[in-house]
Amino acid sequence: RGIPQDYLDLVSSGEGEKEEDLEGKAVPHVGHAIEARIYAEDPLRGFLPSTGPLLQYKEPPSSILVKGEQGQKEECQIRVDSGVTVGQTITQYYDPLISKLISYSPINRLDAIQGLAKACDSYVIEGLGGGHNVNFVQDVLRLQDFRDGNTPTNFIDVHYPDGFDGVVLNEKEMEELAVIGALIGEQRRNLLNYPPLPLLEGKEDDGKKEEGKAVIVCLGGMFGKAYRVSYAPDGNVVV
């Protein structure tokens, strides 16, 4: 879905080279495609199979926008080859493959990786009595070695010597999550007609008083890290 079949039949050994498809026609090497196999396996339990019914299942859109190297928007095409439906039961008797998720960028590999990561973000898979490997795929796509193409056969052993314990967010992602949490909390209170939380006064920094109000968002529970999310008078939100 969304990717010309010519690109899927192509096996090229270098940029700009041409190969022949099954009919002997020359096919140019244009752009980059990357595939992830989505399995009903739980990476948090050593990739043990997850069996049970699919309670919710929604595939990513066929087109996703990503940010190019110069900050411009680029389009990635997404293809999902699957054979599952909502209510279907995944059993232990067959291969637990849910789908093959493919991202194609006409520009380069990094854009294709971004497209695949965003496709994983929008992939909805619930049920199975356990988990699936989408979160593991997302974490691999974030690793710089993978993005640079440094993927020897011991790649998993090197980067996950003690197994997979979940995605670890970097500081920028934690700050973004704090802002999202603050905005969702405010929207939820508005929808439920709850009284607004008391906001902190603007803090002083180097003798200059910060304008606007702020709330504290704690990530990771009571003993997690706290972030001060400030609401500026112009509507901007700053951590």
3-state secondary structure (DSSP) of residue 3: coil
pLDDT tens string 192-205:
888 766 666 555 55
> Which CATH number is associated with domain 31-159?
3.30.470.20
Checking if the pLDDT of 214 tops 80, the result is no
Query: Vertex 71, ends 65 and 75: CA angle to 5°?
Result: 20
For residues 199-208, one letter each, b for 16 or more C-beta atoms within 10 angstroms of the residue's C-beta and e for the rest, the string is eeebeeeeee
Checking if the pLDDT of 99 tops 70, the result is yes
For residue 137, what pLDDT is reported? 95
DSSP 24: S
153 compared with 215, residue with greater pLDDT: 153
Checking if the pLDDT of 96 tops 60, the result is yes
Sort 177 into a burial class: Cβ within 10 Å, 0-12 / 13-18 / 19+: middle
Mean pLDDT, residues 66-76: 88
Checking if the pLDDT of 13 tops 50, the result is no
Neighbours of 174 (CB within 10 A): 17
Tokens matching residue 216: 């504290």
Mean pLDDT, residues 90-117: 92
For residue 136, what pLDDT is reported? 94
For residue 81, what pLDDT is reported? 96
The pLDDT confidence band at residue 113, using thresholds 50, 70 and 90, is very high
Checking if the pLDDT of 155 tops 90, the result is yes
229 compared with 212, residue with greater pLDDT: 229
Q: Are 237 and 227 in contact (CB under 8 A)?
A: no
- Alpha carbons 143 and 117: distance in angstroms, whole number: 12
DSSP 211: P
**Every domain of the chain and the residues it spans:** 31-159, 171-238
- Strands, E assignment, the chain: 18-20, 26-28, 32-39, 41-42, 48-49, 52-58, 63-67, 73-82, 89-90, 97-105, 124-127, 200-201, 204-205, 208-209, 213-219, 225-231, 237-238
For residue 135, what pLDDT is reported? 93
For residue 10, what pLDDT is reported? 43
Checking if the pLDDT of 156 tops 70, the result is yes
Mean pLDDT, residues 202-230: 68
Q: What is the largest CA-CA distance in the chain?
A: 73
Element at 142 (helix H, strand E): helix 134-142
Provide the whole-model pTM.
Answer: 0.72
Mean pLDDT, residues 15-29: 65
Mean pLDDT, residues 42-50: 90
- Alpha carbons 81 and 33: distance in angstroms, whole number: 14
